[in-house]
Chains A and B, each alone.
Chain A
Amino acid sequence: MPKSLKVSDISHPVEQLAQVRPDELMPLPPPYDKIEEQPGWKEISPAQRQKYEASLDGVVAVGVPIPATAEEEDRLVEGFLSGLKKLLTKENNWTFLQQLMLSIDHCARCQNCIETCPIYVSSGYNDIYRPTFRSDLFRRLVSKYIKPGGKYFGELKQGAIELNWRTVSRLLELAYRCTLCRRCAHACPIGLGNALITHELRKLFSMEFGYSPKEIHDKGSMLQLKVGSSTGMNRLAVMDNVEFIDEDMSDLTGLSVKSVWDKEGADVLLIHNAGEFISWPENPGAFALILEAAGISWTLSSELAGYDGINYGLWYDDAQFARVALLHAQAAKKLKVKKIVIGECGHAHKALTVIADRILTGDLSVPRESALVLLREIVMSGKLKLDPSRNDFPITLHDPCNMVRLMGIVEPQREILRKIAPKFREMEPHGVYNYCCGGGSGFAIMSPFNFQDWRLSVSGRMKLKQIVEAFADCPGPETPKYLCAPCSNCKGQIRDLFRYYGVWEKQRILYGGLVELIVNAMVDIKEPFIKWEFH
C-alpha cells in the first residue's frame, strides 16, 4: 500500500488503495482520548470484497458490484466516458455547466484549501481524503479523455492518469467521502471549490448509470416521488401520526394543540422534514404549539411530497431534485398560500429556497422562507410569554452548512437564543465558518456495510471535538447540557455520534432543535418541555 498516495495510483490493481488507521486519526479531547476505548471498526469481509468495490479505503458507501467480465469492465469505462461528455454539454448540464467549466480550467493547485476540510484533518491527513485529490483526478480525466488533443497533451497539462474500471469504481466511492459542506471554497484564492466537482461526479454516476447509495435514491427520492415521503409514510399515515403528536403535545403541555391540514389561503405552508414526525415528534409538535400560540394562519399539506420537505436530489441528481422541488411548489400553489416556511432541515432549506429558485418559473415561484426567520419574528414580537430562566443550562449551537454558509441565515437563531438561553455559548469556529456535522450530503442517513463507522469516526470527528470543547467548562455528567441543532439531518448524525461515543452517559449532552427550547421557555407550559432523555 503506497505511503504517500499519488492521484495516478487510483487505477492501480492493488487490493486496497488507502487505509484508515485509528491511531492516525485526529486526537479527540477527554473523555474520548483513549484509542482503546473508542468504538471498533467493522471490516469488510473477504466475500463482500469479492462482490463489491471496497478497494478505495476499505469502506463501502455505494456498494457498486465489481465487474465480473472484461465486457462489464469495458461497459463501466465506456459509460463513464459517455457520462463525462454529457456532464460538459449545455443540453444535459446547463444547471451547473458554468461553475463546472470554471472549476476544471482555472484551479492553480495551490493546496491552500486542504486544511479547511474536516474529513482530511480528522483522518490524520490521509491523502485519499485530501479535498483536491478528487478534483485533481477529475481534471486529469477531462484533460486526457475529453479535451481536444488530450491524448497527446492531457497528461502534460494536468498530470498522469489512466482510466480503467478501477478508476471508475473507486471514483464512485470517492464521490461519497465529501459532505459537500463547501468549507474549502472559502480558502480558494480563485473562488473555486472542490464540492462542486464532487456534486457533479455524483450526478454523472446517478444520471448515466443509476449508481447512487440506496438510502438516497431507492429509499430516498424514489420513495418520496412514489409515496410522498422517504419515511415511507403516505398521506393517511402522516396525518395519523400528526394526530398522535398533537394529542401528546396537548397532554404534555396542558395547551390545546391541533395541527391544520390543507387549509386553502393560509398565510404559511409549513413543510417539515418528515423524519421529524418519526424520530423527533416533539419538534413538529413544538412548531404547532408555537404557531397556534402566536396566532399564525398556517397549514400542513397532505399532497404528494407536500408534507416532506426533504429533497435528496440536491446531493446527487438534477432530475430527482427538480421532480421533488416541483411537487413542493405545486403543493403550495394548490393551497394558494402566501409563503412556504421550511422547518428545521438544512438541506430542505437550500434545496427549495436557493437551488430550486431558478427552475420554479412563473406561478410556481411561491415565496419561501426559513422557519428560523418566522420564529425570530414570533419570539421578538412578544406574542409568547417567555422565561429564559427555564433554559438555565449550558447551550451551544450547531450551524447547519446548508442554512448558514450556503444561505447566509446566521443571526435569527442566535437572536432567539440570546433572548431565551442565558447560558448560550458559541462553538469555535461558528457561523459561516462552521464545521459540518459529518452527516451532510446524505451521509446521516447512510449506514451500509461499514460506512457508518467511517462517518462517525472520520467525517463526524471534528464536530464531536467542537461540541466537547464548547462545554469544556462543565464537562462532566453532573451538568446537563444542550446542543441546539436546527436541522434534521444534523440531528440524525449527532444522535449517531453521541451513541457511538457514549456522549450522553459520559457528559450528559442532549441534542435537539430550536423550537423545543422556545417551548421550554414558555411560561404557559406547566412542566419543563425538555425531558433530558436521550433518544
Chain B
Amino acid sequence: MPYLLYLTAAVFIIGSLYRLIRIIRMPVHLRWELYPVPHEPPSKVRYGGSFMEESDWWLKARSTNKLGALGVMLPEIFLLKVVWERNRLLWIWSFLMHWGLYLFTAALGLTLVGSLIELAGTPVASEGAVGITALLFTLIKITSWAAGITGAAGCIGMLLLRIFSLRMRPFTSFATILNLILILLLFGSGLIAYSQGPQTFKWLFDLSKSAISFKAAPPVFGFAGVHFITIAIFGIYFPFTHMTHMFVKYFTYHRVRWDDKPMSAGSVREQHIINSLKQPVTWAAPHIRGDGKKNWIDIVSAKGDEVA
C-alpha cells in the first residue's frame, strides 16, 4: 500500500508541476484584461474603472490594492459566487461537490499533520491520545464524514444534471462523466469505509504514518483498502484533467484577466517581447507569406507590394 501512496504522490506532484511549468514557460502575451480589475483602488473597483481613466497616468505613481484580488478569489473559491449569481440549481450541487473536495483535502492535510505528531512521540490516533491531539483525530473523522456526505451528494446532483439537463447534456463528454464517477467513487467508498467504524480512520492514519516513516504498512482493513485505492486512482488521474483548474485559476485570473501591467521601456518583459518578435513566421495567407525565414518584425514592417 505505501508504494501505491508513493506512486500517487509522485504522479500527482510531477503531473501538476509539469502542467504548471508548461503554462509558466509560455511566452509573454498581449494584454487581454477584463474589468473590474480588483487591484485597482476600491473606489474604482466599485464600478470597474481603471488607471486609464486618469489623465497622463504614465507620469503618476500608480495606486493599487494588493488585497483586492482576495476579495474576488475567496468568494469565488469558497462560495462559487459567479455560479450562485447565474445558476442556482447548478450551484447547489457544484457547491456541495467542491466543498466535499475541500473538506477531503483538509482531512488529508490533518492526517498528515497528525501522523507527523505521532511519529514525533505524541499519540494522536493511538491509545493514550488526550487533549488537543485526541481532538485532532476526532476532527479528522468529522472532516472525513462531512467530506463524504457533501461530496457524494454534490456528485450525484452533478451527474443527474449532466445526464438529464438539456442545458448541459449536449456539452457533456465521456471524460466529464468519468470525472464525476471517480469523484463519486472517492466519496462513496469513503462513506462505506467510515461506516465500518473508527478502525477505518485508524488504518488510514497508520498507513499515512508508515508511508512517512518508510515502515511496513498495516494489514488492509476491510473496505478502507478500497477507499484508499480510489484515492490513489483519483490522485493519479487528476493532473491530466481539466480539474487542474483548481490551481490554473491563478493564471486565468492573475496572468490574463487582471494582467493590466503597461509595458515599460527597458524592462525584462520588453526583452521577452523583442525575442518573440524575432521568431520565424509560417502563416501562409497571401498578405503574410510566412516562409519560416521572415520573422514578425519582417512581416510587420512590410510595405507596399510586399503586403499583397
Contact = CB atoms under 8 A, between A and B. Distances in A.
A108 B245 contact: yes
Interface in B28-55: 28-37, 40, 44, 47-55
A367 interface: yes
A419 to B, nearest CB: 16
B159 to A, nearest CB: 14
A520 interface: no
B252 interface: yes
A383 to B, nearest CB: 14
Contacts of A196: 32
B252 A373 contact: no
Contact of B50 (A116, A158, A407): A407
A4 B304 CA distance: 49
B74 to A, nearest CB: 13
A362 B265 contact: yes
A1 B284 CA distance: 36
Interface stretch (A99-107, A236-244, A386-394): A99-107
A404 B48 contact: yes
B276 interface: yes
A376 B53 CA distance: 10
Contact of B49 (A83, A157, A226, A410): A410
B270 interface: yes
Contact of A86 (B262, B265, B283, B307): B283
A283 B197 CA distance: 78
Contacts of A91: 279-282
Contacts of B288: 207, 319
A278 interface: no
Interface string A100-140: 01100111111111111000000000010000100010000
Given A6-B170, A97-B27, A191-B256, A432 B263 contact: no
Given A94-B29, A408-B37, A4 B166 contact: yes
B282 A359 contact: no
B26 interface: yes
Contacts of B168: 109-111
Interface string A288-324: 0000000000000000000000000000010110110
B194 to A, nearest CB: 28
A98 B29 contact: yes
B285 A208 contact: yes
Interface in A134-185: 136, 155-159, 182, 185
Interface string B259-300: 010110100011001101101111111111010000010011
Nearest to A377: B55
A408 B299 contact: no
Interface stretch (B81-89, B123-131, B207-215): B81-89
A31 B65 CA distance: 47
Nearest to B37: A408
Given A98-B26, A136-B171, A432 B256 contact: no
Query: Interface residues of B toward A: which range?
Result: 35 or more
B183 to A, nearest CB: 13
Contact of A357 (B26, B31, B94): B31
A222 B287 contact: yes
A357 to B, nearest CB: 5
Contacts of A32: none
B66 interface: no
Contact of A323 (B29, B52, B53, B302): B302
B21 interface: no
Nearest to A356: B30
Contacts of A448: none
B27 A94 contact: yes
Given A106-B244, A405-B48, A432-B47, A101 B23 contact: yes
Given A92-B282, A95-B29, A158-B173, 16 more contacts: A79-B284, A83-B283, A92-B283, A98-B29, A98-B256, A127-B170, A156-B174, A156-B175, A186-B82, A191-B249, A354-B33, A358-B30, A360-B263, A367-B56, A369-B57, A376-B55
Interface of B: 22-23, 26-37, 40, 44, 47-58, 76, 80, 82-83, 85-87, 90, 94, 166-168, 170-176, 242, 244-245, 248-249, 251-253, 255-257, 260, 262-263, 265, 269-270, 273-274, 276-277, 279-288, 290, 296, 299-302, 304, 307
